[in-house]
Structure 1
Amino acid sequence: MSQFDSIASPTVRTADNLEPSFVHGDQIGVAKQKLADHLARRKKRPNVLIYMMDDVGWGDFGCYGGGVAVGAPTPNFDKLARGGLQLTSCYSEPSCSPSRATLMTGRVPHRHGLHRPPMYGEPGGLKGELTIAQLLSDAGYVTQAVGKWHLGENVESQAQNVGFDDFYGFLSVSDMYTEWRDANFFPEIVYSDARTEWIKNMPFNKCFVHATKGGTSQNVEEVTIPVLSELDEKWCQYSTGFIERMAKDDRPWFLYHCTRGAHFDNYPNERFFGKSPARHPYKDTLLELDEIMGRLVETLRNTGQLEDTLIFITSDNGPHMETWPDSAFTPFRCAKGSTWEGGVRVPGLLYWPGMIDAGRQSDGLFDLNDVLPTMLALAGETGRLPHDRYIDGIDQSSFILAPDGLSNRKYHYYWLTTNFSALRCGEYKMVLTATSDDDSGSAGPGGFTGVLQRYAYARLYNLYLDPKETHNYMTRKLAYVEAFQLGIRSHLATFRRYPPKNVMGLNAPDKRQS
């Protein structure tokens, strides 16, 4: 089977609670042998470094067509792309918290319940969920989270209580700490003592924090605008310190490094201010994110851990175009907050020298929910996959490790908050529900513009011929209808046995922490 034949190829469901997948027997054998040889050679299971950026677009890196061409060269990201596997169909959820929870749990938002970002002290939704950090910790991994968390400020959803040994970062999102301090955006607050005091008394944490497993988060420093510009540097130093310490430890580790950049509003570190060819805060920030990635890789190399470490670089969603020009670049339709490709198609680079062949590029489907089962497989811990809940992620270890490996995923499911939106298989995407991409539309939860559109008749787009999703192909492609409807029905049917969750909104328990 080639990737092109995925629409016509059957999948296998190995358990009722697991997503069906392709079974490529030859590449599974190759991957298992590679992992066995690596364990014999290196005497330890692989480390995992996930580098999660905020609102960075699919096209921002040079290897995706951006870089110098859009005013921000990315030499370190581009080098890693040339040295490993570059994914061109890597999918997030439409916004940051749903994506991060999906990566952590291997489950789509309609299962873990975080349909949108929690704001200004709202509780999150990880209570009762099993995370990749917890599962790897149970398997003997040292687990470290650094940077933006944004999965809820309630105690049960904080990093130190969902499997991480240590957390150093902030609990919410960049602009929440700064917008009300900046007279360019909120003069009516900055120039009013009463309103400033009102914001200060709101029950959300205004500092970045530190916490250890099972403990209470302790404030490190209030996040003012000058402090915000230094956070990615502080977090880089914390992560490089962790990597250096782990060089003296026999245990494998999982580092979840989440950057502040490039979420609006960007206040670049003084070392990068005005240094991009674009001379723009967003582009300056991209330079810093690229440099930080280079420093993490160099620390791995200098400590002799690079060959032991799988690196995955991605973004939590597409660009937030409502903040243009303080936003990212995508060649696709629409942006963050939508299920058009521009909202959910994100960069995805996988790098592991000696294990992932250099120079690979694939349009095989890869979802952020695939991270959990894939990392467990690479760690030799597939048996730890939960049996009491539905796991939407698929083990993609053979796709990653086999030369010219094929994706094991047949479908990508698009969810727009609680609405099933679309399904992709092969080069085709069937759309049932979507947002309008008119930024003058009404604002929805999370601050995204556009109004919900339900189509009386499904639309079918060929993403190879029409990446902007403007030409409905349905009338001429009716032969595909049953295949897509079967995929949609099968997915929605899983919610009968494994009911959805909703932890956001007015009915959520109020467990805020100041």
Structure 2
Amino acid sequence: GYNTALFGKWHLGDVEGRLPTDQGFDQWFGVKNTSDEAGYSSTAQFDTSIVPLPYIWEGEKGKPSRKVKPFNLESRKTIDREIVERSEAFIAKQAHSDKPFFAYVALTQVHPPLGYHPDFINASRKGMYSDILMELDYNIGRILDALSKAEVAENTIVILSGDNGAVTDGIGGGSTGPWRGGFTGYEGGLRTVGIVRWPEKIKAGRVSDEIFSTLDWMPTLASLIGEEKRIPADRPIDGIDQSAFIKGSQDNSDREHILFYIGDDLFAVKWRSFKIHLKTNETLWSPVQTYLFPPVYDVANDPGEDNNLMKFNLFAHSWVYVPMGQILKEKGESMKKYRNINPGEVFSGY
């Protein structure tokens, strides 16, 4: 097996039994939930009898996690530096181990409340947001340098990604480029950076607009390292093995569609280059809109999702509802046969 560590944001359960060291990691350091919590204690009426004071935590497998220090606006400035330093130490140590390693480095930038290391105050001379981007770039560079210094860079898979598109409201910067909306069901909320480096196996410089989901990393990584037999066969797996696509042995992704949820609600279905919106919200703060006839966009030709094809030639594209219906039918049947596992449930199989 692998030596494993998580450094940074977790946000997949904040009680014992649901922490990183309960979910396969040997060690962890970071925050149980979200960077939002760094701002809690600075608000005028924050009450620890209602909401516990947020902390930065650390832990090892088999032991209760322990508090490191309060997570507030001051510690928010330096947490990414600490994440990087611990990651560097982990890489250096694991380079001399007989076992391979997996490090999940979840940096907190860029995310409100905005705050950054003092080394980057006015570093860009373009304002806080640009300073934060410089810090983020610097921290990623340190991780890559740590791999080179440990002489494991050539045979280490590095993935750089994010969990959602840019949220520009009230943050002083950021952009979704030509795509509409951030943190919504539009392309600006769906799309994020996706870069993979593996010098020994993956040719550098390839760029693709094919569909690839975060869900695909688990089966893809298992296949890339020759451990696809470890993928559970007793349940549906949402991810698709994209190893052939990643290695460049084929130009096309093996994923043709993706379902996009906000909370428990299905907002959009993307099939090929078509995007069908069952619900929409224009910003974080706007109401949710539902439709009698869900709008359809061709994001290859209309990345801003401005031209509803259902209005163009009046329903000529209503046939696109057919593959969407088939996708949702198959998913519904699968969810009925294989019920969702409840959070915290000890799952013994179907």
What's the counterpart of residue 260 of structure 1?
108
CA root-mean-square deviation: 2.1
What's the counterpart of residue 173 of structure 1?
34
The residue matched to 1:467 in structure 2 has which SS? Answer: coil
Paired residues of 1:141 and 1:253 also in contact (CA < 8 A): yes
Name whichever structure is richer in helix by fraction. Answer: 1
What's the counterpart of residue 340 of structure 2?
500
Paired residues of 1:366 and 1:409 also in contact (CA < 8 A): yes
What's the counterpart of residue 444 of structure 1?
none
Paired residues of 1:143 and 1:253 also in contact (CA < 8 A): yes
Paired residues of 1:160 and 1:211 also in contact (CA < 8 A): yes
Query: Which residue among 218, 242, 255 is the counterpart of 1:372?
Result: 218
Paired residues of 1:265 and 1:326 also in contact (CA < 8 A): no
The residue matched to 1:346 in structure 2 has which SS? Answer: coil
1:488-512 Cα shifts (integer Å, max 9, x gaps):
32223221112235659xxx9xxxx
In the alignment, does 2:13 pair up with 1:152?
yes
The residue matched to 1:317 in structure 2 has which SS? Answer: coil
The separation in 2 between residues aligned to 1:229 and 1:469, in whole angstroms, is 37
The residue matched to 1:491 in structure 2 has which SS? Answer: helix
More divergent stretch after superposition (157-166 vs 397-406): 397-406
What's the counterpart of residue 286 of structure 2?
450
The alpha-carbon deviation at position 487 of structure 1 amounts to 2.3
The separation in 2 between residues aligned to 1:492 and 1:282, in whole angstroms, is 43
What's the counterpart of residue 348 of structure 2?
none
- TM-score, length of structure 2 as denominator length: 0.91
In the alignment, does 2:175 pair up with 1:306?
no
Paired residues of 1:357 and 1:403 also in contact (CA < 8 A): no
In the alignment, does 2:234 pair up with 1:388?
yes
The separation in 1 between residues aligned to 2:256 and 2:298, in whole angstroms, is 16
The residue matched to 1:461 in structure 2 has which SS? Answer: strand
The alpha-carbon deviation at position 323 of structure 1 amounts to 2.5
1:395-443 Cα shifts (integer Å, max 9, x gaps):
11111112453211111111222222222122111222222x1x5xxxx
Paired residues of 2:275 and 2:298 also in contact (CA < 8 A): yes
The alpha-carbon deviation at position 179 of structure 1 amounts to 4.1
What's the counterpart of residue 329 of structure 2?
489
What's the counterpart of residue 226 of structure 1?
74
1:89-108 Cα shifts (integer Å, max 9, x gaps):
xxxxxxxxxxxxxxxxxxxx
What's the counterpart of residue 97 of structure 2?
249
Query: Which residue among 245, 253, 265 is the counterpart of 1:419?
Result: 265
The separation in 1 between residues aligned to 2:322 and 2:150, in whole angstroms, is 54
The alpha-carbon deviation at position 161 of structure 1 amounts to 0.6
The alpha-carbon deviation at position 276 of structure 1 amounts to 2.0
The separation in 2 between residues aligned to 1:296 and 1:152, in whole angstroms, is 26
What's the counterpart of residue 19 of structure 1?
none
The alpha-carbon deviation at position 210 of structure 1 amounts to 1.0
Percent identity, please.
Answer: 28
Which letter maps to 2:122? Answer: G
- TM-score, length of structure 1 as denominator length: 0.63
In the alignment, does 2:164 pair up with 1:340?
no
The separation in 2 between residues aligned to 1:227 and 1:480, in whole angstroms, is 50
Alignment coverage as a number of residue pairs: 341
The separation in 1 between residues aligned to 2:225 and 2:52, in whole angstroms, is 37
What's the counterpart of residue 86 of structure 1?
none
The separation in 1 between residues aligned to 2:65 and 2:98, in whole angstroms, is 28
Which letter maps to 2:11? Answer: H
Q: Unaligned stretches of 5+ in structure 2?
A: 346-350
The separation in 2 between residues aligned to 1:491 and 1:309, in whole angstroms, is 35
Paired residues of 1:321 and 1:328 also in contact (CA < 8 A): yes
The separation in 1 between residues aligned to 2:18 and 2:243, in whole angstroms, is 28
The separation in 1 between residues aligned to 2:7 and 2:50, in whole angstroms, is 25
The alpha-carbon deviation at position 461 of structure 1 amounts to 0.3
The alpha-carbon deviation at position 302 of structure 1 amounts to 1.6
The separation in 1 between residues aligned to 2:176 and 2:185, in whole angstroms, is 16
The residue matched to 1:449 in structure 2 has which SS? Answer: coil
What's the counterpart of residue 55 of structure 1?
none
The separation in 2 between residues aligned to 1:371 and 1:343, in whole angstroms, is 19
The residue matched to 2:303 in structure 1 has which SS? Answer: coil
The alpha-carbon deviation at position 327 of structure 1 amounts to 4.9
Which letter maps to 1:476? Answer: A
Q: Which has the higher contact order (CA 8 A, sep 6+)?
A: 1
